[in-house]
Structure 1
Amino acid sequence: MRTSKPNLLLCFDAFGTLFSPKGGVAQQYAQVAKQCGVTGFSDKELQSRLLEAIKEEREKNPNYGRATGLGATQWWTNVIHKTFTPLMRNNQALPPTLVPKLLHRFSSSEGYQAQRDLVPAIRALRERISQQGVERLVIGVITNSDDRVPDVLSSFGLNVSPLRYGIPFEASALQGKQYDIDFHCMSYDVGVEKPDRRIFNAADIMLSHIIKARYHETISESDLEGWQKVYVGDEVAKDVVGAAEAGWNPVLLDVEGKSTEIASLEDIPQQTLKDLFENHTSDGNERQK
């Protein structure tokens, strides 16, 4: 149902936008391996083995194993085994703690660092947008990734909704509850990656579910057109182009800190969204992550 005030669907990319790895992934693999007693390899050798293992697993089991029914946990378990087995001396078995330690690390804040002041920034954004006259705000994540993203965001202290595209929708999950992140659309669940417009269309479906459950309204496709849709990401080809071609208003964050391009936000005040990154980063500049 349309209201006199604008409604906003605001979605974020995850990796590189909301959070990023703590240093190199291969370096973290090496650190955990040494903690588990695996030694005698060079960083260059480990890096090569890891890239080769990921490439092989992607070809054999696309979409983190979702396409073949393997699942993301076993997919990454396979990557870890293929990375380290050739590095073991005298045909020794992998230490039993290696796989669970790495799986946990890259499902939490152990392996990733959040954008500075991520939690207060998201919460301040909700309040700021409300003060600027937006009737309804729904915040989601649209990302090319497996199913670890909700756990990673939760580990930073965000209150993350269990709602995921492709997972049976439970209206009770929204009753009387306020989340920092209302839903996730991950390529693992949708089956396509950005810039494919279908992953953005999946967010429309999630929005319809949320409106029906939260406001007890049935929304039509024409009603959805009345919502402003803004997507924030850090890559031109996947985030800006993908969002624009799907009919969204993209905001490009520059990881390198060299420039920031903000597309037309139509009825959404540009300064409102810029303030999120100007006021909640380390040096007051929205271009720094």
Structure 2
Amino acid sequence: MKRNLLLCVDAFGTLFRPRSPIAEQYGTVARGMGVKISDDEVAKSFKSAFKETSKAYPNYGKKTDMGARQWWTEVITKTFTPHHSGPLPATLTSTLINRFWCKDGYTLFPDVSYLQQLSHTPQRQKDAKQRLVIGVITNSDDRVPDVLSSLGLKVHGLRYNNSQETMIETSEKEEKDQAQQAQDIDFCIMSYDVGVEKPEPEIFNAAISTLESMLVSEGNSYEKEDWGLLYVGDEVAKDAKGAVQAGWDAVLLDRGAEVDAAYEGDAPGVEGVMVVEGKKVPVLKGFEALGTYGGHELLKIQ
């Protein structure tokens, strides 16, 4: 077993979910502003708008310097314009964008409290002899850190592609706060920053590069042989398969999506095991079981 562990987790569908179906939230807000549209119409129109905008402006607009906020403005406009005569309500776009940039649109899964408990354990300290670092790897634009913070998680501002100087500056700026309040998430890796999505190995490699830079900013160094790599998500193809192909271990959480093929487990919190790319991947009921069946002693909460 490796001495240290980098634990990375998926965001949407693993850490948080919509408070209610997105089409329902879009529809409720729009109807409140006078747009006559059903939730089913929103769902179909949104799907088409998302696909069209993604094709025209890849990676949430990053490749064309559009930016995520303007990108979502395009999606929202294309979603509602076919169902509304005349100009859309002036505040519709900003209201929906702001709603899904914070806790108004999302809620944490209850078992995420396990990660918050981990943040106070000795292995999460910078000077720990056996170190546990926790990051997020997600296919998303740059909203994720703000959403997680709004939901009550303590998220460090470190992101992939920051310069060494920026990382050090951010770390020093937050030093006093970190001394008083442990971080739940050490860094966020988003496809928006990396330029590729899971299951591509580059996005997992970006997490390792960010870990290296983080350790350097602390005055330490990254030694590959000392670090285990574990990814936790809720999707087989993007999360488990992507992680295994990148050389990581993987764990799936059953969020009611893609784990029906798992056979029944015989231990508390374990639903079974899936073989992904020739590697056994545990399927757990929630984060709490990770401390026992996550494959590393640093995941235990004493």
Query: What TM-score, normalized to structure 2?
Result: 0.79
| Displacement after TM superposition at 1:137 (Å) | 1.3
Which residue identity does 2:109 align to in structure 1?
Q
| Displacement after TM superposition at 1:241 (Å) | 1.1
Which residue identity does 1:237 align to in structure 2?
A
Separation in 1, partners of 2:12, 2:204:
17
| Displacement after TM superposition at 1:123 (Å) | 2.4
Distance 1:187 1:261, change over 3 A: farther
More divergent stretch after superposition (244-253 vs 42-51): 42-51
Match of 1:68 among 64, 81, 89: 64
Aligned to 2:248: 248
Separation in 1, partners of 2:54, 2:221:
40
| Displacement after TM superposition at 1:197 (Å) | 0.5
Separation in 2, partners of 1:44, 1:276:
33
Q: Answer yes or no: is 1:206 the counterpart of 2:205.
A: no
Aligned to 2:230: 230
Which residue identity does 2:62 align to in structure 1?
R
Q: Answer yes or no: is 1:55 the counterpart of 2:55.
A: no
Matches within 5 A, 1:6-85: 6-38=3-35, 40-85=36-81
Which residue identity does 2:237 align to in structure 1?
A
Match of 2:150 among 148, 155, 160: 155
Distance 1:279 1:225, change over 3 A: closer
**Cα pair 1:126 1:137 within 8 Å, conserved:** no
**Cα pair 2:254 2:286 within 8 Å, conserved:** no
| Displacement after TM superposition at 1:203 (Å) | 0.5
Distance 1:245 1:12, change over 3 A: same
**Cα pair 1:252 1:261 within 8 Å, conserved:** no
Aligned to 1:193: 197
**Cα pair 2:167 2:214 within 8 Å, conserved:** no
Aligned to 2:123: 130
CA RMSD of aligned residues (A): 2.8
- CA deviations over 1:166-211 (Å, ceiling 9, x no partner): 2333213224324211101100100011111110000011101111
Which residue identity does 1:136 align to in structure 2?
R
Q: Secondary structure at the match of 1:179?
A: coil
**Cα pair 1:160 1:179 within 8 Å, conserved:** yes
**Cα pair 2:2 2:228 within 8 Å, conserved:** no
Q: Percent identity?
A: 47
| Displacement after TM superposition at 1:134 (Å) | 6.7
Separation in 2, partners of 1:179, 1:10:
14
Aligned to 2:300: none
Matched pairs, number = 262
User: Which 5+ residue runs of structure 2 have no aligned equivalent?
Assistant: 263-270, 276-280, 292-302
Which residue identity does 2:70 align to in structure 1?
Q
Which residue identity does 1:277 align to in structure 2?
E
Q: Secondary structure at the match of 1:76?
A: helix
Match of 2:135 among 124, 135, 140: 140
Separation in 1, partners of 2:245, 2:145:
26
User: Which 5+ residue runs of structure 1 have no aligned equivalent?
Assistant: 265-269, 281-289
Separation in 2, partners of 1:13, 1:225:
24
Q: Secondary structure at the match of 2:110?
A: coil
More divergent stretch after superposition (177-186 vs 122-131): 122-131
Which residue identity does 1:46 align to in structure 2?
V
Aligned to 1:284: none
| Displacement after TM superposition at 1:36 (Å) | 2.2
Aligned to 2:84: 88
| Displacement after TM superposition at 1:279 (Å) | 9.5
Query: What TM-score, normalized to structure 1?
Result: 0.82
Q: Secondary structure at the match of 1:55?
A: helix
Which residue identity does 2:29 align to in structure 1?
V
Distance 1:275 1:85, change over 3 A: closer
Distance 1:276 1:57, change over 3 A: closer
Separation in 1, partners of 2:31, 2:285:
43
Which residue identity does 1:123 align to in structure 2?
Q
Which residue identity does 1:12 align to in structure 2?
V
Separation in 1, partners of 2:138, 2:213:
19
Q: Secondary structure at the match of 1:161?
A: coil
